Amino acid sequence: MWSSSATALTAFFLLSNSVSAITTTITQTTEVVYTTIQPAPQTKVVYTTVQAFQESEDGKVYLPAPPKPVSAAAISSKAPSISTKIPSGIFFSGYASGSGLPTGSGLHFGTGTGGIRPTGGIPRNNTYSTVTVRRIRTASGQSSASQSSTPNTLSAVIPPASSTKPTSVASLPKSSSTSATRASSTVAPKPASTGIPFLRGVNLGGWLVLEKWMNNEAFSGAFSSASDQFTFDQLPGAAAALEKHWSTFFTEDDIKTIAATGINALRIPIGFWAYDNTNTKYLKGADVYLEKAIGWARTAGLKVWVDCHGSPGSQNGFDNSGKAGAVDWQQSQNLDASISVLKTMATKYGSNKYADVVVGLQMVNEPVSWGNSKIETTQSWTEKAYNAVRAVTENKNMMIVMHDGFVGAGKWTDLATKIIGSGSKTAFGVDTHLYQVFNAEDKVLTQSQHITKACSWSNDLKNANKVMPTFVGEWSPATDICVNPDGSTTAGTSCSAKGCQCQSGDFDKWNDQMIEQVRRFTEAQLDVFESSSSGYFMWAAKGPGGWGFLNGIKKGVIPNPVTDRKYPGQCGGKKRREVRGNLGREAEAW
């Protein structure tokens, strides 16, 4: 008796309508041994179950209760049959556009419904094992499937849990070179996603572009004199220090932790110098870690928005551009250099190799529109840059995004209409940043007034979002308030009353009243973003005190999962589900 190496089959069922209560991974391990004298295989079947994050009808992401044991009898009628002649090549007329596993952020949905047909047979002297079936129950019992990336696999149609009109499609991933599959296995290419999901994200700020207020450890010791990335990179030992920072500040474990909170996207800032540092004093190498992060995101089921955070000449004079001080981005040579770098980035991240994970490329972050920098110049350049970048982007579904230049997304609707034309509305999007901690007018507000102001953002976001995908690329729970023992709030960063505490104080010592007030403001903002935009990204995943998403999750000032609410309805209005239907479904966003 003998057998060849095992072959794995993985088919993932994805919803074709709204999710109800449970998502279960049923792993059926089937060991089949063929002999030269026995015509029928002998099988042994073992069943196990795993739960996954799912989104309920009210739009909340949750982890279902621990599963009950699944018996073989319960799903035996649904298991794929194994015969002595198994098709080694499968063609299908429809494609599954989603490639991600179900995560806390929602699901991707198959768009293909074509049938399959075998194109060949495999000799019987093979062992086939490990069939993983992901079944998601829906009200109507419908389901669909998309391919996995497991090598050395065969594919088959597996009936949904209960449906008179099955629409599931399973496809054949690329197989490695084995004698059993090399002869007749044919793989249809997986097409790029045709939509942008609603993005619930965080920024990986302070990682690939240094900001001193966020990176105290990096700017210590021999680097304490540096004020930004530009001055940091010129100091002795900078290359080794950067390598240490890049390899430790964010890791794959951090990405897994973020994904477990219902976040489904990462906005990753990176400087132009990572791709072209000619005639500059910047050090290269950050793009290697961006590549790592994209891989981590893909594994975790997250989308990535690549953000060119620092542009040639500095677009704002802030340290987040790489160089604080003069604002020279609008000089013609710098505008041209910016387009050149963006074309390099778009050629790479806009290729079909990244189509399953990279959904957006941001051309510039926070270009100012005051002093010698004019919004008219920024918008004229945007149209030119968009056309140049789009021309080299293989994945036409990747969105090209521009920051609003601090004039508001509504000032971009005419240009967006011109750029988009009759094409896909996912082609061009606008990023606006909404904070209530930097301007003098915000520093005199109580927390209830901060919440009222956050609620007022809804109309502007909603009106812009009707014309073009509008994202809140940065926001924060931070405000300058103090909380009294009775729970009332006052504006400021200090107070003298006994038992009074200010948000600017030690984050680790925040009391319950402070946590409640910050949580209220956070939820109000999230409600507005959910109902009126195409997505949002908190600044930042890691940061000092309340500026850190992961800190906020631990402290309880940020919902976990992010769709949970302790204080619902602060801004009134409709939930996103009522506006656009199922969350997490790619077709719903645009």
Among left, alpha and beta (phi > 0; psi -120 to 50; other), residue 59 is left
pLDDT at residue 195 in the model: 67
pLDDT at residue 424 in the model: 86
Least confident piece of the model among 66-75, 179-188, 478-487: 179-188
pLDDT at residue 389 in the model: 99
pLDDT at residue 426 in the model: 86
Average pLDDT over residues 240-246: 99
CA distance 262 to 265: 9
pLDDT band at 575 (very low <50, low <70, confident <90, very high): low
CA angle 301, 587, 61 (to 5 degrees): 50
Higher pLDDT, 585 or 211: 211
Highest mean pLDDT, choosing among 18-27, 55-64, 254-263: 254-263
Number of other CB atoms surrounding residue 162 within 10 Å: 13
Segment 300-359, tens digit of pLDDT: 999 999 999 999 999 999 999 999 999 999 999 999 999 999 999 999 999 999 999 999
Higher pLDDT, 40 or 425: 425
CA distance 123 to 30: 18
pLDDT at residue 574 in the model: 62
pLDDT band at 576 (very low <50, low <70, confident <90, very high): low
pLDDT at 454 over 80: yes
Q: Are 460 and 470 in contact (CB under 8 A)?
A: no
Radius of gyration of the chain (CA): 26
pLDDT at residue 529 in the model: 97
pLDDT at 484 over 60: yes
The mean pLDDT value of the chain amounts to 75
CA distance 258 to 267: 13
CA angle 32, 69, 26 (to 5 degrees): 50
579: nearest Cα among 567, 569, 589: 589
pLDDT at 129 over 60: no
Choosing from 55, 211, 474, 530, the catalytic residue is: 474
Q: Is 474 a catalytic residue?
A: yes
86, containing H or E segment: none
**Strands (E) located in 458-513:** 470-475, 481-483, 489-491, 501-502
- The structure tokens 């104080």 sit at 505
CA distance 373 to 330: 7
- Count Cα neighbours of 143 within 13 Å in the Cβ-side half-sphere: 23
Q: Is 366 a catalytic residue?
A: yes
Number of other CB atoms surrounding residue 263 within 10 Å: 27
CA distance 45 to 389: 52
Segment 485-512, tens digit of pLDDT: 999 999 999 999 999 999 999 999 999 9
3-state secondary structure of 284: coil
Higher pLDDT, 394 or 116: 394
Which residues are bridge partners to 90 per DSSP? 118
Domains and CATH numbers, the chain: 7-147 (no CATH), 205-211+248-479+520-564 (3.20.20.80)
466, containing H or E segment: helix 447-467
Choosing from 211, 217, 291, 366, the catalytic residue is: 366
